[in-house]
């Protein structure tokens, strides 16, 4: 990862993760510091960045145009614009949130503002910067007052995400937040029980891992360490999926 250990440490610090710093030999004795838990080792393999030539895939623009013109549910009446999704259209990792908020509705891009900044730090900390992944939401339009998506709204909008997944063909999906996880997995199981396991999504059985939403982490910073556990789980699973793909080829 560009920037080296110092930049990596800054990312981990933004997540609220304690770092272990080795004392230099010969340094003058000082009062014993409070114990600091060592940070788990970060896996070193970054996500692959696919060539941009695939962005010319002719199936993307008709899908984007269909989303822009969509009036299947009542959310279209209050939107500024749809939020289609952004990122690498050949991404190994697809990050899925629940729905656009007010700032996303204004900018037309998912995960902006403070929650987006924290998500960016989370991705960089696991060596998967924003430009290497694809980011989308279950809903393409903002629910009024940032309320939870209604079942009918999910029913109307989820097929768009499913078509994006078919085009991207990610190795792994990361559902961020309870609403995204429960809607993608068609369950009411609490997020705490969904974490720590590899689930499957869709007819292709795409592997899916669940973690907390950045907005929740901003409200509950004590859960950031648990989120880091999830991100390391993502790293390990991606490494295994890459190894399995290499073995299958040869």
pLDDT at 7 over 90: no
Q: Contact at 8 Å (CB) between 129 and 156?
A: no
Q: Does 153 or 6 have the greater pLDDT score?
A: 153
144-171 tens-digit pLDDT:
998 999 999 999 999 999 999 999 999 9
d(CA 189, CA 123): 26
d(CA 91, CA 94): 7
Interhelix angle 4-14/113-125, rounded to 10 degrees, is 130
- Residue ranges of domains in the chain, CATH in brackets: 4-21+32-249 (3.40.470.10)
Please report which confidence band the pLDDT of residue 49 belongs to, taking 50, 70 and 90 as the band edges.
very low
Q: Does 95 or 24 have the greater pLDDT score?
A: 95
Q: How far is CA 243 from the centre of its chain?
A: 22
Q: Contact at 8 Å (CB) between 208 and 165?
A: no
pLDDT at 97 over 90: yes
193-249 tens-digit pLDDT:
999 999 999 988 999 999 999 999 999 999 999 999 999 999 999 999 999 998 888
Q: How far is CA 119 from the centre of its chain?
A: 7
Lowest mean pLDDT among 27-31, 66-70, 99-103, 124-128: 27-31
The token duo for 102 is: 């007010």
- Tell me the average pLDDT of the chain: 85
Question: Taking residues 181-202, what's their average pLDDT?
Answer: 97
Class of residue 250 by CB neighbours under 10 A (exposed 0-12, middle 13-18, buried 19+): exposed
pLDDT at 20 over 90: no
Alpha carbon distances (Å) from 165 to 105, 134, 138, 175: 22, 10, 11, 13
Q: Contact at 8 Å (CB) between 229 and 122?
A: no
Lowest mean pLDDT among 44-48, 130-134, 235-239: 44-48
pLDDT at 91 over 50: yes
Largest interatomic CA distance in the chain: 69
């Amino acid at each position: 990862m560009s920037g080296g250990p110092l930049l990596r440490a800054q990312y981990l610090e933004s997540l609220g993760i304690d770092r272990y710093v080795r004392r230099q030999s010969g340094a003058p004795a000082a009062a014993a510091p409070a114990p600091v838990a060592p940070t788990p080792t970060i896996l070193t393999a970054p996500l692959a960045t696919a060539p941009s030539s695939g962005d010319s895939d002719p199936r993307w623009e008709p899908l984007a145009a269909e989303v822009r013109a969509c009036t299947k549910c009542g959310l279209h009446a209050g939107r500024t614009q749809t939020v289609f999704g952004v990122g690498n259209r050949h991404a190994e990792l697809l990050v899925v949130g629940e729905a656009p908020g007010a700032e996303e509705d204004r900018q037309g891009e998912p995960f902006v503002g403070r929650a987006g900044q924290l998500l960016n730090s989370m991705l960089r900390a696991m060596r998967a910067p924003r430009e290497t992944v694809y980011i989308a939401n279950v809903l393409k339009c903002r629910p009024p007052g940032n309320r939870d998506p209604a079942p009918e709204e999910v029913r109307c909008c989820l097929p768009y995400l499913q078509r994006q997944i078919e085009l991207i063909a990610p190795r792994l999906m990361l559902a961020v937040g309870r609403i995204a996880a429960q809607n993608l997995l068609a369950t009411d199981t609490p997020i705490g029980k969904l974490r720590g396991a590899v689930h499957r999504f869709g007819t292709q059985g795409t592997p899916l891992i669940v973690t907390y939403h950045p907005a929740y982490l901003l409200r509950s910073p004590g859960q950031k360490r648990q989120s880091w556990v999830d991100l390391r789980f993502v790293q390990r699973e991606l490494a295994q999926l890459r190894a399995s793909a290499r073995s299958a080829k040869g």
